[in-house]
């Protein structure tokens, strides 16, 4: 089908370039007709809706007491921050096997820690971060 569409479009363009007048429909109309032949559209019949204006509702309206919706996102974020701070304190806690800070001091943006941090190259006793 695409070959036929391309052939129709090419023939129409060549005849227009040569200055010939076309007595037949334009390529767009021919392509549209080919597409409609290949894929016919058959809409489903419309269904009539029953009129519900005169009918009474089957069930009664449910009324509930007022309640307030509380945004729990802030409380979840607070809980996550507390958990991460607790985990950070547990990770930084000094132990003989893993090392850690014995003494910490924050001076502005600089943090000075005294402790042991075993690494592959050796052991650090003083750590300064800024």
Residue 44 in any domain: the answer is: no
Residue 47 in any domain: the answer is: no
Q: From the CB of residue 12, how many other CB atoms can be counted at a distance below 10 Å?
A: 18
**Residue 110 pLDDT > 60, yes or no?**
yes
Confidence (pLDDT) at 86 = 92
Confidence (pLDDT) at 92 = 76
The tokens describing 37, both together, are 């032949």
Q: From the CB of residue 16, how many other CB atoms can be counted at a distance below 10 Å?
A: 13
Residue 14: which domain range? 2-38
Q: Name the domain count of the chain.
A: 2
Residue 104 in any domain: the answer is: yes
Cα distances from 44 to residues 20, 50, 74, in angstroms, run: 44, 18, 51
Q: Same domain, yes or no, for 31 and 77?
A: no
Q: What is the pLDDT of residues 15-38, one digit of tens each?
A: 655 555 556 778 888 888 898 888
**Residue 96 pLDDT > 90, yes or no?**
no
The answer to whether 129 and 111 have CB atoms below 8 angstroms apart is: yes
44-73 average pLDDT score: 75
Residue 55 pLDDT level (bands cut at 50, 70, 90): low
Please list, in sequence order, all residues whose beta carbon lies within 8 angstroms of the beta carbon of residue 94, skipping any fewer than 6 positions away: 100, 101, 102, 115, 116
């Amino acid at each position: 089908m695409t070959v036929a569409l391309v052939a129709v479009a090419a023939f129409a363009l060549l005849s227009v370039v040569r200055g010939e007048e076309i007595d037949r429909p334009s390529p767009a109309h021919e392509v549209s007709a080919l597409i409609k032949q290949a894929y016919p559209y058959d809409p489903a019949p419309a269904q009539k809706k029953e009129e519900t204006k005169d009918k009474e509702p089957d069930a009664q309206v449910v009324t509930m007491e007022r309640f307030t919706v509380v945004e729990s996102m802030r409380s979840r974020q607070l809980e996550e921050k507390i958990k991460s701070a607790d985990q950070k304190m547990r990770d930084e806690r000094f132990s003989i096997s893993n090392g850690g800070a014995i003494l910490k001091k924050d001076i502005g943006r600089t943090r000075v820690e005294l402790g042991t941090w075993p690494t592959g190259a050796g052991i650090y006793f003083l750590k300064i971060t800024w």
